[in-house]
């Protein structure tokens, strides 16, 4: 059994950094003193030109450190998204078009009922009994009845005769002093300056709301007749009509006209008009209530948006700062990446991924450092022997001694060549495994081919015999890189052959266990030293059988095999074969590969 690594490898020490030679750059005087830094220049493409050749001139400038922000840019889109729906909802509620139409319709129904009652009273009590055919309205009596019956302060009544002439108008007083017109003035604004400002702001906003159907303008002539109003003309025809108009100050004027009849004969038209002040007050009350709720909702939304943005931006900012510290740091921090895994959201997943990535990065760097130190140590041994032999061969005159020294030189060169080849293969392994694409591999067929090749290439009669036992039942196919899996089992077979006794037996067994394909390699060698079952997979670990020539193995075979199996998400372990008496009968390597 080949167990390869150097157990006596000394502790690694960081190699001293080579001193960079002085380089004369353009514009620098020749023969600058050693150690004096040459001036730096920046190229047009933003590359750095440095005097130290260890620093490449085509490396881009490092990014500037992030500027600390008082307000995260993430707050803006979160606020915009959250406020958009609230503003649209609030604007739609402030519009209240259906509610306004309902108020106008209710006002029209109220005026219609009142107008029908007054018109019926006029048809019974304001008729001139002296005129029988056709009957007519008495102007003085009609004015008094209209003024008494229309008691609503903000309701105006106008009575037109059958010819369209105006008979009565509640805004005009007829007396000995002449005609006096009554017009109600709007109530003065009450309250403090804040209340007046809010009312002015409300009027400004309402004036800019979308138009609501553009009602016809209200115009009132100095001398009025029924012909000036469409609803009055319809009433003189015996119909009840209503119309909504808009005054110059954008206030509404609602009018309802009904015919004044006696025995189905139209004697005139009564038109009642009312301003939209009550409607506007009702609308203002509802809108103010909506605005109060809207402002409270707005404040809550802004606060919640700021809280939400901070719960996202603050941990992300901390993760970014920690990543920058890792990038710019020269040493390993005890806790470089904050732990947010307890959040249970995507930020927690990001934190876990960054922590795992950082840990993997440090492990990879540690592995590279250890590998470099181990390589330096392993190469140093044959180089020391080679240098000693080369220095000695020039001083030795004995041909036999020179021959032995030349043999040592050849062995050391071969050992160096083998070491460099294995080291190159090991260093390229990670990159090749990450780039190569997996494909279905039939493990039983692959092992059968290896057995056939081994049997065909063995010319030594004392070589160990190789047998293959394939269990029936269950597919023995795994996803992987066939060439690398072949390398694993070739290393295991080569290791077993080097420890097997003459004419010994190496048994290969393959079977299916649940979601894994299990391959075992058993030999009849001396077994694994106690306590070294895991250490044999370390780099450059070497535990060779007695009598074998030193330096024939690099100690990387089992390490490479474990690296390949781990890349296939499998496992490999080693153990001794123990008989019933407790004696070691050989070694056993067990490889498990997942089927999916």
Q: For 181-209, how does the pLDDT look when each residue is reduced to its tens digit (9 = 90+)?
A: 555 555 555 556 766 777 777 777 766 66
- Using 50, 70 and 90 to split pLDDT, how confident is the model at 554? low
Identify the three-state secondary structure at position 283. helix
| pLDDT for the residue numbered 188 | 55
- Bridge partners (DSSP) of residue 259 are 269
Alpha carbon distance 305, 476 (integer Å): 56
- Bridge partners (DSSP) of residue 465 are 505
| pLDDT for the residue numbered 58 | 46
- Show the domains of the chain with their CATH numbers: 96-183+194-275 (3.30.450.20), 339-435 (1.10.287.130), 436-594 (3.30.565.10)
| pLDDT for the residue numbered 331 | 63
Number of H helices, E strands in the chain: 11, 16
465, 503 contact by CB (below 8 A): yes
Alpha carbon distance 36, 57 (integer Å): 19
| pLDDT for the residue numbered 545 | 53
- What pTM was computed for the model? 0.45
Alpha carbon distance 426, 560 (integer Å): 6
Beta strands in 276-421 (DSSP E): none
DSSP string, 507-569: EEEEEEETTEEEEEEE--SS-PPTT-TTGGGSSSB-BPPTTPPTTS--S-HHHHHHHHHHHTT
Q: Which residue has the higher pLDDT, 251 or 157?
A: 157
Instruction: Kindly state the DSSP code that residue 217 receives in the 8-state scheme.
Output: B
Least confident of 131-145, 248-262, 272-286: 131-145
Q: Which residue has the higher pLDDT, 219 or 38?
A: 219
Alpha carbon distance 64, 193 (integer Å): 53
Q: What are the tens digits of pLDDT across the range 375-398? A: 776 777 778 888 888 888 878 888
Alpha carbon distance 78, 15 (integer Å): 53
581, 45 contact by CB (below 8 A): no
| pLDDT for the residue numbered 334 | 57
Instruction: Kindly state the DSSP code that residue 260 receives in the 8-state scheme.
Output: E
Q: Is 22 exposed, middle or buried (0-12, 13-18, 19+ CB in 10 A)?
A: middle
Instruction: Assess whether pLDDT exceeds 60 at residue 587.
Output: yes
- Bridge partners (DSSP) of residue 511 are 518
Q: What are the tens digits of pLDDT across the range 238-265? A: 999 999 998 887 788 999 999 999 888 8
Measured CA to CA in angstroms, residue 466 lies from 490, 520, 527 at distances of 12, 13, 18
Q: Which residue has the higher pLDDT, 40 or 222?
A: 222
Instruction: Determine the straight-line distance between the first and last CA of the chain, rounded to whole angstroms.
Output: 31
């Amino acid at each position: 059994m080949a167990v390869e690594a150097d157990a006596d490898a000394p502790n690694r020490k960081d190699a001293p950094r080579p001193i960079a030679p002085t380089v004369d750059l353009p514009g620098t005087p020749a023969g600058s003193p050693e150690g004096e830094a040459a001036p730096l220049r920046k190229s047009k493409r933003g590359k750095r030109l440095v005097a130290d050749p260890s620093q490449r001139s085509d490396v881009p400038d490092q990014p500037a450190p992030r500027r600390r922000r008082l307000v995260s840019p993430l707050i803006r889109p979160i606020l915009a998204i959250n406020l958009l729906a609230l503003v649209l909802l609030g604007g739609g509620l402030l519009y209240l078009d259906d509610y306004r139409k309902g108020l106008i319709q209710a006002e029209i129904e109220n005026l219609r009922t009142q107008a029908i009652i007054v018109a019926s009273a006029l048809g019974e009590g304001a008729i001139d009994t002296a005129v029988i055919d056709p009957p007519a309205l008495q102007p003085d009596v009609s004015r008094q009845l209209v003024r008494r019956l229309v008691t609503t302060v903000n309701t105006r009544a106008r009575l037109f005769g059958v010819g369209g002439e105006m008979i009565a108008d509640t805004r005009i007083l007829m007396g000995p002093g002449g005609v006096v017109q009554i017009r109600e003035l709007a109530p003065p604004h009450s309250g403090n300056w804040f209340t007046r400002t809010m009312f002015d702001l409300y009027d400004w906003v309402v004036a800019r709301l979308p138009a609501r159907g553009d009602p016809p303008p209200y115009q009132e002539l100095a001398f009025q007749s029924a012909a000036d109003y469409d609803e009055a003309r319809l009433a003189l025809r015996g119909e009840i009509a209503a119309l909504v108009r808009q005054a110059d100050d954008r206030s509404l004027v609602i009018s309802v006209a009904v015919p004044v009849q006696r025995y189905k004969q139209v004697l005139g038209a009564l038109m009642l008009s009312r301003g939209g002040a009550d409607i506007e007050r009702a609308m203002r009350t509802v809108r103010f209530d909506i605005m109060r709720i809207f402002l409270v909702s707005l404040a809550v939304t802004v606060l919640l948006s700021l809280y939400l943005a901070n719960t996202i931006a603050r941990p992300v900012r901390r993760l970014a700062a920690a990543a920058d510290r890792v990038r710019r740091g020269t040493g390993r921090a005890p806790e470089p990446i904050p732990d947010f895994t307890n959040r249970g959201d995507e930020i927690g997943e990001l934190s876990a991924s960054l922590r795992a990535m950082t840990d993997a990065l440090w492990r990879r760097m540690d592995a590279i450092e250890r590998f470099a130190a181990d390589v330096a140590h392993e190469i140093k041994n044959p180089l020391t022997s080679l240098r000693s032999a080369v220095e000695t061969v020039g001083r030795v005159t004995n041909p036999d001694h020179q021959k032995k020294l030349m043999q040592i030189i050849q062995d050391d060169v071969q050992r160096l060549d083998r070491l460099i080849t294995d080291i190159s293969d090991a260093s390229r392994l990670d990159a090749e495994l990450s780039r190569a694409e997996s494909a279905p591999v039939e493990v039983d067929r692959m092992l059968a081919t290896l057995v056939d090749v081994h049997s065909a290439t063995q010319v030594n009669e004392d070589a160990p015999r190789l047998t293959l036992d394939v269990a029936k039942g269950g597919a023995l196919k795994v996803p992987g890189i066939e060439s690398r899996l072949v390398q694993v089992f070739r290393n295991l077979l080569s290791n077993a052959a080097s420890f097997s006794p003459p004419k010994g037996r190496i048994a290969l067994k393959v079977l299916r266990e649940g979601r894994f394909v299990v391959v075992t390699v058993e030999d009849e060698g001396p077994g694994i030293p106690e306590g070294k079952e895991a250490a044999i997979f370390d780099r450059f670990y070497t535990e060779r059988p007695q009598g074998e020539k030193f330096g024939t193995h690099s100690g990387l075979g089992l390490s490479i095999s474990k690296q390949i199996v781990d890349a296939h998400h499998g496992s490999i372990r080693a153990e001794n074969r123990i008989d019933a008496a407790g004696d070691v009968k050989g070694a056993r390597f067990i490889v498990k590969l997942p089927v999916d």
